Every structure is written in C-alpha cells, then in structure tokens.
A = this chain, B = another copy of it.
Amino acid sequence: MSIKLTILGCHSATPRANAFPTSQYLEINNRHFLIDCGEGTQQQMRKYKVGFTKINHIFISHLHGDHFYGLIGLLSTYGILSREKELHIYGPKGIKEVTLLQLKVSKSHANYPIIFHELNSKESELIFEDDKVSVKTIPLKHRVYTNGYLFTEKEKPLKLHIDNIKQYKEIDRADYNNIKAGKDITLSTGEIISNSELTLPPKQPLSFAFCSDTVYKPDIVPIIKDADLLYHEATFLNDKEDLARKTKHTTSKQAAQIAKDANVNQLILGHYSGRYKDISLFKKEAKEIFDKTELAEPGKYFSIN
C-alpha cells in the first residue's frame, strides 16, 4: 500500500515561461489517477514520464481554465494514440457539454468511450469505489462550483499469522479464507481459537486529500481528518488575507491551520500567485503553524509507504 504523487503543475492562472497550472498524477494502491488538467498537462506528463495509458480516471476540481483547459488536448491525444479503454471524467456539471463540443468542432474521433460523471452536490459524496481505492468529494467554496477529492485506500484483509496457525495441526489451508475474514476457529476438541491469535493486523490504509481552489473553509476538517497527505492551495501569503477572502482563495497560514486541525501527516502547498517571486515564503509562513509542510513544484515527487 502506497501513495506516490507527482506534481505536474502547481501555479495559478497567470502564465509565465516556467509556471504550469494545476495538475497532479496520483498513484494510490496501484490505481492511477490524474487530478486537474491545466493547459500543458499532457506535455508535463511526457516530461515526467507519466504513462498515458495507465490513466482511466480523471478528476477535475472546477471549471476555471487553469484547472481544465489541458483536458481536451489530452483526450484528443488519446484518440491519436488509438486508445480503446473507457476513460472516466469526474467534474462539475458543464464539463460534458464543453468537452463534447470541442471534440465535435475539431472532428476528433474519440474511438474510446468517455464516461462523464458530472457533479453538483454540495455535500461530500462517494463518487468512485473499487477493491483498491475509494474517492469522495470534498465540497470547497470558490468563485465557481468546486470540489476537492479524498482518495483512500481500501482496508486490506487480515494477514495470516502463519507461525501461530502452524501450532494447530488441525487448521489447514481450507480454513484460511475464514481466518482472513475474521472468523474464530473451533477445534474438534471444542476449543475456540480466537481470530486475533491467528491473524496479524493489515497495514493501515493511506489517504490523500486534494483541496484546490477554495476560500479558507474549516468545515472540511472532519472530511480530511487524519489524512496521510494533504495538498491545499495557498494562493497568497498572510499579508493578502483580504485579497484571499475576496478572490475566494486561501493563505499559506490558513492552509497550515487546516492541516493542523485535521491532524494530517504532511501538508503540500501550491497554486502560488504570480506576484510572489520567492515561494519559499509560503513554506516559512506555514511552518509556524504546521511543521511538516512542503512546497509543490513541477516534477516534485512525494511518496508514502
């Protein structure tokens, strides 16, 4: 069980020669997700060697250009690459209409199925689940309808404590599935062997919370509680708290407060406004409140085992 996060882009909307808008590639429990898709994402994917074909699910937080203008280029490229597998796209209502119109005017024949999951709930909801991972929305508050996403590994089954099991000759392989399912074993003597003696606890499932863009919103804390990794936007430093509130963004200090209140293990900041030349100030400010803070930068890689 592991989380590997590659930052593809982490700057806010105003273009600069070496700034890339939001996009992240998440590997969690052997699932591969793309989160947000600003202009140039596919080129960043090439640069940082993200396998295009591994991705079957793309999560878009909101429909501001710096979070989704790169989606259509990626979809067209999948067409050029003769993709056949289903691609699932999660994002705000409207994403389907605008994407299909773009494909139509460019006569890009997507020969693979694109399945849109349009979101409009203001409550956190489960939007994806398989045997490895679940994904829930984190309702955020920005100038347009926006969701963060919480990615959580599924609990693994109990592990067999083989050394202990071997002490009971009567227990054989046919019992293993019952043991892994948490059942006690009754021997022919009538003795009951407690499941806890026969198993080891599985590794704790890991979780990653992605929160961008949003005004400071403390009511997300219960949703992201104890997350192993939190990416939270920090568009401004504390000196621009008024501007952050007005433009519905967060300061570095506020993001750190969210991380602290939610008791996460590590915080990653990003979405820096172009006005700041020295982004190390974001980390410095956040660390006054929450020490385990890192900065997102294009190509930076975070790994948790």
Binding site for B on A (CB under 8 A): 13-17, 19, 39-40, 42-43, 45-47, 63-65, 68-70, 72-73, 76-77, 80-81, 94-95, 97-98, 101-102, 105-108, 143-144
Contacts and interface: CB of A to CB of B under 8 A. Distances in A.
A17 B47 contact: yes
Contacts of A81: 14
A13 B77 contact: yes
Given A98-B101, A101-B98, A107-B143, A15 B39 contact: no
Contacts of A107: 63-64, 143-144
Given A13-B80, A39-B73, A43-B17, A63 B106 contact: yes
Contacts of A94: 105
Nearest to A77: B15
Contacts of A106: 63-65, 68, 144
Given A15-B46, A43-B15, A105-B98, A72 B69 contact: yes
A207 B130 CA distance: 60
Contacts of A95: 105
Nearest to A12: B80
Nearest to A143: B107
A98 B14 CA distance: 22
Contact of A40 (B43, B64, B143): B43
Nearest to A108: B65
Contacts of A98: 101-102, 105
Nearest to A15: B42
Contact of A15 (B19, B65, B73): B73
Q: Which 8 A-B pairs have the closest CB atoms?
A: A94-B105, A17-B47, A65-B76, A17-B46, A39-B73, A15-B42, A40-B40, A63-B105
A253 B95 CA distance: 43
A275 to B, nearest CB: 12
Nearest to A40: B40
A114 B45 CA distance: 32
A131 B97 CA distance: 42
Interface centre among A40, A45, A65, A81 (most CB of B within 10 A): A65
A39 B75 CA distance: 13
A86 to B, nearest CB: 21
A39 B77 CA distance: 12
A68 B97 CA distance: 18
Nearest to A20: B43
13 contacts: A13-B76, A13-B77, A15-B43, A39-B70, A40-B40, A40-B43, A64-B106, A65-B76, A65-B106, A69-B72, A95-B105, A98-B101, A107-B143
